A and B are shown apart, each in its own frame.
Chain A
């Protein structure tokens, strides 16, 4: 179980990483990406436990 995500930090991270293509942005370090757990919870990269299976959120924006 993960702790609650800081939504302001999440927004800053997404804004910083935002891309207009669907291609994976490999230039972003893993600890600066945003992930989702199998339980449907957002996980910040630096809070991610490498032993857990997490799905990466595409770094595209809502527009």
Chain B
């Protein structure tokens, strides 16, 4: 592989990885605050993309309106999911909650198939598709949008968590629900916020990536899986690890496809994330920390 090719694959890997990072952040936030693994996380990405297509293409809305509206609508859907499904099942066991989010995921997926059909759709590019030369690689402008938006979203999230009242309350809930409740934080409101934010993050990812990668009713599952893998690198506690994990996964996938491994074609690309997950499980499981019970 030449240096130019390497740079190309690196850029495309970072681009894809930024999406994984956003999904991973969504997983991390919901898990940290509610201890639930939200299987519908990937569907939020799908919805963001689908909605932006409908608003921009079919409704002819200008991007400056359609993009925020798509994100907002998805956040609302995330909130509805929380209120209708999760909050109602509050006292339920972990198994039940997982199954509920799985049910929600396929419900959303099924509805999407009905509303948008099974074909792939492409919303319009933000600023056209003229490739920009950069360090030996040709970057499509949408890729820059992806990387840039993800970066901004991550930074804004960080600022929100660290410097606003609401954000600090969220962090507190993540550390201890009991303690947070004792200082007057409404834990149900926090859970609702977590879902809304996670949905928004996913939607941002979807909105910004679908002009480049297309989107369809069934992209949620693999995106969710890969975001999960990235999030689990950080143990679902560290947003920073989630972001790094996401980008790393994207780069590894991209390079693996680029290098000629012989019998392994790009069809095996998806398998990389899964193998990584299994490795993480093996490594984590080997450490003594695996069996330590909390106080």
Whether both chains belong to one complex is answered with no
Q: Interface residues, chain A, CB within 8 Å of chain B?
A: none
